[in-house]
Amino acid sequence: MLTRRAILAGLLAPLAPRLSRAQATEIRVICSGGFTAAYNILAPRFEQMTGKKVVSAYGASMGNAPDAIPQRLARGEPTDIIILARSALDEFTARGVVRPDSRVDLAESRIGVAVRAGAPKPDISTVDALRRTLLAAPSIAYSASASGVYVLTELYKRLGIEAEVAPKSRRILSERVAAVVARGEAEIGFQQISEILGIPGAELVGPLPPEVQQVTVFSAGVLTSAQQPEAAAELIRFLSSADAAETVKSTGLDPITRRG
């Protein structure tokens, strides 16, 4: 007489190859901060839908922080997908790191201003108001990635206040600017709006005025060294799908959905 264990083993035997393939499919992703909030919701949903495992790491789109995407790739971390600012993705593509036909734009992101929760919200509604606010602020923090590069190298110059505000501005590595503001270590912080929302102890004042705003496109691409290129492309299709758009929007981004 067959035992219950033997019967169960016989029933599961035809499924074993399929299960082992699903378990073996691990998609390794490095995601930059601007898309992280959306990604952290969508990646588990993709896993549930497909049975494929997503292994996640995080880092800035650019810069020399140890966890920044360029530094991770330089160390040879196994990676299938990178999600980061489009300008940085294009640089990796030009260097042969990313497959040119794999690049997909996921969302547009805008820079916002954060203050400590409960603190008076300064006026940043116009360019002149933003200029006055920054001149009056005792301390300012900005990110080490795309938004921070823009603030330090372009925004201050366009406002004509670089000499006054650069010395009291601090570049934040490997941490959300809003977290630094929440601890009271800076009165005002600049970062992508999606990276400000949801940080305990910090509040979004609003976006930069349109005249001095910078829109960053966050995109995904498959590495030429990817171990799971087909599964990686499947994940990117999901992240850019209409089904994902509402989640992307809820995190402070403007989704760019693929059609067809």
pLDDT in tens, 15-24: 444 444 445 6
Residue 122 DSSP class: P
Angle, helix 242-250 to helix 33-50, in steps of 10 degrees:
140
Cα radius of gyration rounded to whole Å, the chain: 22
- Which helix H or strand E contains 112, and what residues bound it? strand 104-116
Query: What are the C-alpha distances in Å from 180 to residues 30, 75, 202, 222?
Result: 23, 28, 9, 33
pLDDT for 61 beyond 70? yes
Which residues fall within 8 angstroms of residue 75, CB to CB, at 6 or more apart? none
Q: What is the pLDDT of residues 113-161, one digit of tens each?
A: 999 999 999 999 999 999 999 999 999 999 998 899 999 999 999 999 9
Q: What is the pLDDT of residue 4?
A: 53
Write down how long the chain is. Answer: 260
Q: What is the pLDDT of residues 192-225, one digit of tens each?
A: 999 999 999 999 999 999 999 999 999 999 999 9
Residue 98 DSSP class: B
Q: What is the pLDDT of residue 205?
A: 98
- Residue ranges, comma separated, of all CATH 3.40.190.10 domains in the chain are 21-108+216-255, 110-215
CATH topology of domain 110-215: D-Maltodextrin-Binding Protein; domain 2 (3.40.190)
Q: Is the dihedral of CA 95, 83, 249, 48 positive or negative?
A: positive
Q: What CATH number belongs to 21-108+216-255?
A: 3.40.190.10
pTM: 0.84
Q: What is the pLDDT of residues 230-244, one digit of tens each?
A: 999 999 999 999 999
> What is the rounded CA–CA span in Å between residue 103 and residue 192?
21
